[in-house]
Structure 1
């Protein structure tokens, strides 16, 4: 799969014709426990909100590395992720997962596309990817920094540990040397690990029917020290992860 992903470097497509891919999946309790340990979730009767994204990742890679997906995978930037569930998924229920791609659209810095993962009609995740081809950075300035409620020290091996449980072994997350080949001073944390870590911090406080929307901002270099903030209002929760600037901005409604 990684070789197929590397070979997509030669793509120059401009249209989206990829067909949906599907599979039936059963949850491995051993794998779930390993995922929970890396992300900070406790052991519960229901799946963590971000875990179905990991279950669908092999299908996402199959779709994105196959025919009809317009972008090369190297250099593709995960800029946003939205998860909606109508009810929690139980540990022992069989899952039907379908992955599709939609909404190829322009962006000031290139072109965006959504990769959609649907699970058993009750959970859906939308990952927005950007293929940068130039253009100015977004305007409007940085958002105001919220007061931190916790300090997280992110270890240097979190990319390798999350890569092992998620299957996402992108070189930018694994080692400083491989990250430098892609222009980073050292390895960076996975955006979906950062989102999962935020939701683990809010575990037990979100409703069972919920939408969690995040934007991934500046890369989180590892090892690193960041501040997590969260506050609840009438509409739900707002949360963020900050270092020298924002790494993730999110809401749960």
Structure 2
């Protein structure tokens, strides 16, 4: 099995710790992971914006970069969905069948749900739209989280509702996007969880940005609002162990 990490633009530019955590996790499970340096953007922003011609060179480059590998793993349902659902429209049918979102790879290929993780915090999980509707990840992420030692999972009300990011949607429709994000944050905050977990950092960045700029749900409350949960990618939770715990940037409540 030749496995490559498809780290994605968002993780590379904004959350490299997620890529590092993915490699640490897979290596702990006995997987030898390579990182093709030729990888760049998969073309999703251009394609979603309707610029197919601009996306095509990026599609071809991505296919060439990962050609030697039998399995390509990415900690992003969004980018995995781009490859799986839209690359065939460019006539590329090889890479889609070899590309896996991280939780799919763990459960379906490696056949594990208990990865030996330890995360002693309260957590609520937001399923991103691409993972939920295009990849149909189902309960795979929750099964993995449920097996983590020390974790306390709390159900997220309205979990299947979109967070409002939607890639270029957040740029073209900022008011609607923020309103949707506020609703999601209110639901997550109401769980009382310390951590909001997701499998797409694009969603988590969107929600974190709103949380930093606004106080969700404060209009009808007296006194200071409860703090929203901190966003943490599922790869970083699964990579954490008792000997090598996840370290929050600031003290967690």
TM > 0.5: no
* TM bin (shorter chain): under 0.3
Question: How high is the TM-score relative to the length of structure 1?
Answer: 0.24
Query: Which has the larger helix fraction?
Result: 2
Question: How high is the TM-score relative to the length of structure 2?
Answer: 0.24
